[in-house]
Structure 1
Amino acid sequence: MVELSRGDSPLVLGLPHTGTDLPADVADALNETGRKLADTDWHIHELYDGLVDGVTTVRTTVHRYVIDVNRDPSGASLYPGQNTTGLCPLTDFDGEPIYRDGRAPNEVEVERRRLAYHASYHAALAAELERVNARHGFAILYDCHSIRSRIPFLFDGKLPDFNIGTDGGTTCAAGIQKAVAGICQKAEGYSSIVNGRFKGGWTTRHYGRPADRVHAIQMELAQSTYMLESAPWTYLPRPADRLRAHLRTILDSLICWRPE
């Protein structure tokens, strides 16, 4: 349910949306659209695997349709007034229902899932950030995401390749945002933006407390940079390797960063 790989550097990678596991009761309740699992952050754990030494990774194997561990556990929207998906999504990213008629989770079921999956993921993530902070005097959480580059239900036009989120610069030291943004801006052939459509999910906003020596930054990659964006969502080694070179530079810069 939660996979943990412990490293000795200040850097922790969060992997909240790469899981594809569905409990049998949830799988049975989903309709044909839901069972496609189209909104997975496909191959993200493979994309980041082995880029640098010493990182800690925390990954949930449960699919976001069971419960989205990057959403506020209270159910509050991260983007008020904009189309988005909730704590236990009822639609996919195209706004299409994912449950069979009458099978959507009620409040009791949502709370059961929160305790079983959301709470366990964040207990593991919080513990690792505390451990790293105690060892190094600070911790950096880099939250790993990807999404289709075109989703009219969620945003207009084509998404930039690198989407950096720090909730308006509040979740990490200015030097961290500047370093990551600078690498992305210099990446030839790629586009980037800071705090555009994706400003950082609940994880980034919840843990990013620079005053407490915990810094958080979200990276939302356009899936067109490394894979086919439609089924069967094939990983494309050549463009992925090109992208991995820039991701390695980003992670290296975070491992080498030190508070002033």
Structure 2
Amino acid sequence: MSAVEPLDVAQPPPAGPAGFEVRRPGPAETPPPTPVIFASPHSGRLYPDDMMAAAALDSRAIRRSEDAFVDQLVEAAPAAGATLITARYARAYMDVNREAFELDPAMFADALPDFARSRTARVAAGLGAIAKVVSEGQEIYARKLTFAEAQARIDLAHRPYHQTLESLIAEAKAAHGVAVLVDWHSMPSLAARVAGAGCDMVLGDRFGAACGEALTGRVEKELEARGYRVVRNTPYAGGYTTEHYGRPARRVHALQIELNRALYLDEEALTPNAGFARLKADIEALTAALTAEDWTTRL
């Protein structure tokens, strides 16, 4: 991994659903061995032709919005007993950690339907389901999009991802009486400095609304034992996935983990740095601890 992986600009994946990949701990026809599900919604590297034809930026500039290589950091999860779902389309194409119709009307040549959610904080920041900007506020598109283009992206990338994630959660709950969803992300090192001097990770549980303290506390304890500086909910309390699925009263617990990119990534070159192997090993140790826990009685 000494160089940036080539961008898959035109071709869909060779097999399986185009928008995501699911890796299970065992055969699909058998119940999952643990209730733990890992998700990486922002590490996708597919940039379809229709997006790039409308873009004002080149693919490398747009790629700075990715949670680069997070899917590789968590790729060993199935071996430890956790189901893993990773998005394949780039978040700039369709952000599956947003509500599907969280869209900015200023980006579109035609009117959005009345049910579109156009006045959220994420839309105001240019980071709706279809992002307006990437890092440093650079606008992605050279022209206005159409709602038909947005609907096509939702049907291709957003809807199938969440239909599958809902199914995985239902399977885990049916097998174990509880589901534990960990949504993995990375944050620019500048954002990590805002969170606190030297912050390595941010745990987002919607201030306790999305998961039980037993889960947040266990993750925090495991990470701090490995020398990481961890904060909760600032500046990231959890996105759409955490908010939408985290229902502790229904025994579905969702936690977002933000990793400081400086831990594992050369943010300028977009290549793994010398810390990648250590962070991956520590995530694997955390995964083992989570899958070994009896969440049926803890949550």
TM-score normalised over the length of structure 1:
0.89
Which residue in 1 is equivalent to 2:9?
Answer: none
CA contact (8 A) 2:203 2:256 kept: yes
Question: Partners in 1 of 2:24 and 2:81 — Cα distance?
Answer: 8
> What is the one-letter code of the residue matched to 2:257?
M
Structure 1 residues 158, 72: closer, same or farther in 2, change over 3 A?
farther
Residue pairs, 1:241-252, within 5 angstroms: 241-252=277-288
Structure 1 residues 167, 45: closer, same or farther in 2, change over 3 A?
same
19, 36, 46: which is aligned to 1:11?
A: 36
Q: What secondary structure does 2:139 align onto?
A: coil
Unaligned runs of 5+ in 2: 1-17, 26-31, 103-116
- In the TM superposition, what is the alpha-carbon distance from 1:56 to its structure 2 partner? 0.7
Q: What secondary structure does 1:45 align onto?
A: helix
TM-score normalised over the length of structure 2:
0.78
> What is the one-letter code of the residue matched to 1:69?
V
> What is the one-letter code of the residue matched to 1:55?
A
**Residues 173-227 of structure 1: per-residue CA shift (max 9 Å, x gap):** 1100111112233332x32111111111100111111111111101110110011
Q: What secondary structure does 2:80 align onto?
A: coil
Question: Partners in 1 of 2:168 and 2:98 — Cα distance?
Answer: 19
Q: Does 1:99 align with 2:141?
A: yes
Q: What secondary structure does 1:252 align onto?
A: helix
Which residue in 2 is equivalent to 1:140?
Answer: 180
> What is the one-letter code of the residue matched to 1:245?
A
Residue pairs, 1:1-260, within 5 angstroms: 1=18, 2-7=20-25, 8=32, 9-33=34-58, 35-36=60-61, 37-50=63-76, 52-75=79-102, 76=117, 79=121, 83=125, 85-100=127-142, 102=143, 104-150=144-190, 160-188=199-227, 190-231=228-269, 233-236=270-273, 238-255=274-291, 256-258=293-295, 259-260=297-298
CA contact (8 A) 1:12 1:140 kept: yes
CA contact (8 A) 2:122 2:128 kept: no
Unaligned runs of 5+ in 1: none
**Residues 63-98 of structure 1: per-residue CA shift (max 9 Å, x gap):** 011110001223146646974611100111321101
Q: What secondary structure does 1:150 align onto?
A: helix
> What is the one-letter code of the residue matched to 2:224?
Q
Question: Partners in 1 of 2:100 and 2:239 — Cα distance?
Answer: 12
Q: What secondary structure does 2:182 align onto?
A: strand
Number of residue equivalences: 254
Structure 1 residues 149, 242: closer, same or farther in 2, change over 3 A?
same
CA contact (8 A) 1:34 1:97 kept: no
